[in-house]
Amino acid sequence: MTDTSDPTPNAEGGERVAKVLARAGVASRREAERLIEAGRISLNGKTLTSPAVKVGPGDELAFDGQPVGPRPPTRVWRYHKPTGLLTTHSDPEGRSTVFEELPKDMGRVISVGRLDLNSEGLLLLTNDGALARILELPATGWTRRYRVRAYGNADEKTLAALADGVTVEGVAYGPIEVSVDRRTGANVWLTVGLKEGKNREVRKVLDHVGLTVNRLMRVAYGPFQLGALKRGEVSETKLSVLRDQLGKLYPLDADGHAAETAEPVARPIGTAKAKPRPRSRPAGAKAGWAKAAQKSEPGHKARRRAARAEKAEPGDLTGAKPPRNPSGGRGKPASPKGQGGAHRRRRP
């Protein structure tokens, strides 16, 4: 008989079980908690009933009786989801799902966000639940971009106002960028960009301003593009490209493994940007910049000549600026500055 009592949480140094399951690609953290509630996760032979448990280095974690292996290298796929598929691992009504249509050799993967039944386009898939969670957060700041065909009338001023956010039926939506591409009869083609991706956000917001969406295709998710992918086609992102696109957001080593402490580093949406730090100046640069600013002021040359004249003794020319060419050109003696032509010998 299986022991269903929860084990005592491990000592410091362990990680919460939902996080371990997400990193191993079993499920996202939220889905992992549902798996625990369903009694499908066990730790050291005991079925878990609460996610408030930590997993240490020597613990044995299992999903449906199968051991959860070590964390695999992070992988990401682009998938062109067709309409008519649900973005879920199982549907109580028996409808077709995205994961049933994927190649079997991909193993268990998780979607980054969702596309509803009647939406199509780019869907990111990964075997790393921690990465999926980070990419879904609005704090990451990645823009989801859509091509939308809608029926109805909405002036561009109303659409432009969505950039300030809008509240629909008590739900507050963040800034949404909408541009009109073209109009064909009663339909209008739009390009829509947003960063939150709440449930059916595009459809609900456009319906709020008088537009009924009859086609919706996601064409980009952050730096990932749908490109020329055909409906139902899957393409894995190369590790070198993946490391470049994720950058400091989710650092990967040369083998594709993420740091154990990788967390989102982007600022939350809507917070003020930090003021840029002033550029550091080398020693003496401040005086040089001030001098350059003075030179640009009107009358600067006249003030310099007056200052030199005050320093010079009567009959002394040391306050005058020496000529650039001591010879004065053509071998003739240089004429003292400020003396006009009185010192020159006139021809008889």
| Tens digit of each residue's pLDDT (9 = 90 or more) over 227-256 | 999 999 999 999 999 999 999 999 999 989
Amino acid in the structure at residue 236: E
Is the confidence at residue 265, as pLDDT, over 90?
A: no
- Please tell me which residue, 100 or 2, carries the higher pLDDT value: 100
Residues 28, 205: Cα–Cα separation, whole Å:
28
Is the confidence at residue 261, as pLDDT, over 60?
A: no
Residues 302, 306: Cα–Cα separation, whole Å:
6
Residues 77, 123: Cα–Cα separation, whole Å:
8
Residues 312, 297: Cα–Cα separation, whole Å:
25
Mean pLDDT of 296-319: 56
Q: What is the mean pLDDT of the chain?
A: 80
Mean pLDDT of 209-215: 96
> What percent of the chain lies above the pLDDT cut of 90?
44
Residues 198, 8: Cα–Cα separation, whole Å:
37
DSSP 227: T
Q: Compute the Cα dihedral for 61, 66, 71, 75 and give only its sign.
A: negative
Distances (CA, A) of 201 to 57, 65, 137, 222, 338: 41, 38, 15, 17, 78
- Its pTM stands at 0.65
pLDDT the model gives residue 302:
63
Under DSSP, is residue 308 helix (H, G, I), strand (E, B) or coil? helix
Residues 147, 296: Cα–Cα separation, whole Å:
52
- Please tell me which residue, 156 or 193, carries the higher pLDDT value: 193
Is the confidence at residue 317, as pLDDT, over 50?
A: no
Residues 83, 27: Cα–Cα separation, whole Å:
24
| Residue showing tokens 């020496």 | 322
Under the banding of pLDDT at 50, 70 and 90, the label for residue 168 is very high
Mean pLDDT of 35-63: 89
pLDDT the model gives residue 335:
52
Residues 60, 195: Cα–Cα separation, whole Å:
38
∠ Cα 21 27 28 (to 5°) = 95
Q: Among all residues, which ones are annotated catalytic? A: 116
Residues 293, 310: Cα–Cα separation, whole Å:
23
Is the confidence at residue 123, as pLDDT, over 90?
A: yes
Under the banding of pLDDT at 50, 70 and 90, the label for residue 280 is very low
Residues 77, 128: Cα–Cα separation, whole Å:
11
Q: Which of 321, 323, 340 is nearest to 332 (CA)?
A: 323
Q: Which of 74, 78, 70, 28 is nearest to 51 (CA)?
A: 28
pLDDT the model gives residue 224:
97
And the tokens for 108?
């268990």
Q: How many C-beta neighbours within 10 Å does residue 78 have?
A: 19
Strand partners, 146: 192, 218
The alpha carbon of residue 219 and the mean position of all alpha carbons in its chain are separated, in whole angstroms, by 16
pLDDT the model gives residue 260:
58
**pLDDT, tens digit, for every residue of 54-73?**
888 888 899 888 888 777 89
pLDDT the model gives residue 303:
65
CB-based contact 328:334 (threshold 8 Å): yes
Q: Sort strands 120-126 and 211-221 into parallel, antiparallel or unpaired.
A: parallel
CB-based contact 27:35 (threshold 8 Å): yes
CB-based contact 256:74 (threshold 8 Å): yes
Q: How many C-beta neighbours within 10 Å does residue 79 have?
A: 25
Domains along the sequence of the chain with CATH: 15-67 (3.10.290.10), 73-139+225-263 (3.30.70.580), 143-221 (3.30.70.1560)
Is the confidence at residue 206, as pLDDT, over 80?
A: yes
Helix (H) or strand (E) holding 154: none
